[in-house]
Structure 1
Amino acid sequence: MSWSEVGSRWRVKLSEVDWYLCFGLMFFTLVVFGLSMAVWKLNIMLNDADALPIEAVAIKGERKYTSDEEIQVALQDLMKRSFFSADVNQVQEALEALPWVYQASVRREWPAKLKVFLIEQNAVAHWNGDAWLNSYGEVFDAPTNDDIGPLPKLAGPEGQSKVVLTTYGQVSELLEINGFNLNSLSLSPRHAWHGVLDNGILLELGREDKMARIQRFINVFPTLEKQVKTVAKVDLRYDTGLAVGWVNAQKRASK
């Protein structure tokens, strides 16, 4: 085959190529490449803390025990991220990890602010010595705060905090109506109830009929009132009566 024949064949093949399709594919490829580069650059910019920093965090909600310094420390690492890359769920978790924070809600506000609403724990009682109970009967750990007034001391097995708090409310209400104040209430591992009044008298209530036994104490107390300073304990774990432990007897027993 001569070179002239080869050249004529190539000219025929080139004439058969669909140039519109080729240029269309090239244009589409360039567009896709350009969009990919734009998305890549946009992603870099959105995640650049220097280009789009978080300039402010607005904290709302009544706070008594959570300071600005605690919030700053909790968010110091998260604040290094950009406005768009900051995970509001992580911000929420960091705030709710603070000891006196019960709940936090976080949202972005354009162009560079995070808005936070905090709800603090409402401590209503001490729990097992070094923990606290909130108004829902949930246990939480937090440092002691002098701004909190005197609270009842409650105790019980793990998982029984709501039961103890509910029972305390019922028992203390009945006692208060009749002029008594309940300082502490505990539930033993064997589910027996023990209460202590503000005058130091220990009430042994047992496991059953605690409200009826409290009423029995209220009914009988007038006969003990003259000797209230020497009453150490009232055992109400009887079907119809009660037993009184005296202060002197308790001292002798302890010796």
Structure 2
Amino acid sequence: MAGRLTNRMFGLVLVLALLVAGGRSLWLWLDQPVRHLDVRDDAHRVSGQQLQQRIAPLVKGSGWLSVDLQALRAEVRQVPWVHEVSISRRWPDTLRFDIQEQQPVAWWNDSRLLNAQGEVFEPGQQKITERMPNLSGPDERAADVLAYYNRLQSVLAKKQLTITQLTLEPRGAWRFQVDDSFWVLMGRSQVEPQREPRLARFLTAWDRMLSGRRDQIRYLDLRYPNGLAIGWHGQTATGNVSSR
């Protein structure tokens, strides 16, 4: 009885050893060196050839199965204008890279760019020809500034006004420029423009008198409890308009 049990145990150990050896052999057979990089993109500013040149040294000597895809993905995302990348294996020795390019929606602090998610990225050597607003503020508030711009622009667009610059000051005050012309000083504003009484005063004054004199306006100061101040071109003093 004991001999039978010993034989069974020996047989089980032998089967497990064969499975382990077979699995290791299979892994080694599958884990061939990476020989081909397939870069797929619809990008205009990210060169597939440049990406291949950047990626090739990173995978040199790596196996098709053992290559660290997460580390490789993190490295590729550092390439200028790469927003996102997914990497997959293609039998028997190919890695496929699907590249999503950054889509800029605004300038950030004059020299950098924002994408639609409010993420800051560098333009590199690329020449930017798109006309975009210039937003500025602390880097950690970039997404908030973009969100406020979108909400504010949706309100002003009803008056055929376009925000060309929007700034969040270090102490939380907002100011924006309209049509590359005059500035509007908002002060500390609510995050919802539709509920902002100072903006409502501006829109009312715009409809009543300011729209016809837009070329004469240097700035509008809305930081008053019941009115606004107007700075005119060629004048050192300001005019006041009451909302009463």
Q: TM-score range by the shorter chain?
A: 0.7 to 0.9
Equivalent positions of 1:35-46 (< 5 A) are: none
Q: Which residue matches 1:216?
A: 201
* Structure 1 residue 33: Cα displacement: 11
TM superposition score normalised by structure 1: 0.74
Identical counterparts, % of pairs: 27
CA contact 1:201–1:234 (8 Å) conserved in 2: yes
- Pairs aligned (count): 228
Equivalent positions of 1:49-198 (< 5 A) are: 49=33, 54-80=34-60, 81-143=62-124, 145-146=126-127, 148-198=129-179
* Structure 1 residue 36: Cα displacement: 10
The secondary structure found in structure 1 opposite 2:234 is helix
Distance 1:168 1:39, change over 3 A: closer
Q: Which residue matches 2:185?
A: 204
Q: Which structure shows the higher strand fraction?
A: 2
Ranges of 4+ aligned residues in structure 1 off by more than 4 Å: 32-48
Equivalent positions of 1:2-21 (< 5 A) are: none
Note the aligned Cα RMSD (angstroms): 3.3
- Larger of the two Rg values belongs to structure: 1
Q: Which residue matches 2:218?
A: 232
TM superposition score normalised by structure 2: 0.77
CA contact 1:74–1:94 (8 Å) conserved in 2: no
Flag structure 2 segments of 5+ consecutive residues without an equivalent.
1-15, 237-244
* Structure 1 residue 231: Cα displacement: 1.0
What CA distance in whole angstroms lies between the structure 2 residues aligned with 1:91 and 1:199? 43
In structure 2, what residue type is equivalent to 1:201? F
Q: Deviations over 1:62-103 (max 9, x none)?
A: 312211233023202124234334322232122111121111
CA contact 1:171–1:211 (8 Å) conserved in 2: no
Flag structure 1 segments of 5+ consecutive residues without an equivalent.
1-31, 251-255
What CA distance in whole angstroms lies between the structure 2 residues aligned with 1:168 and 1:40? 57
What CA distance in whole angstroms lies between the structure 1 residues aligned with 2:24 and 2:146? 56
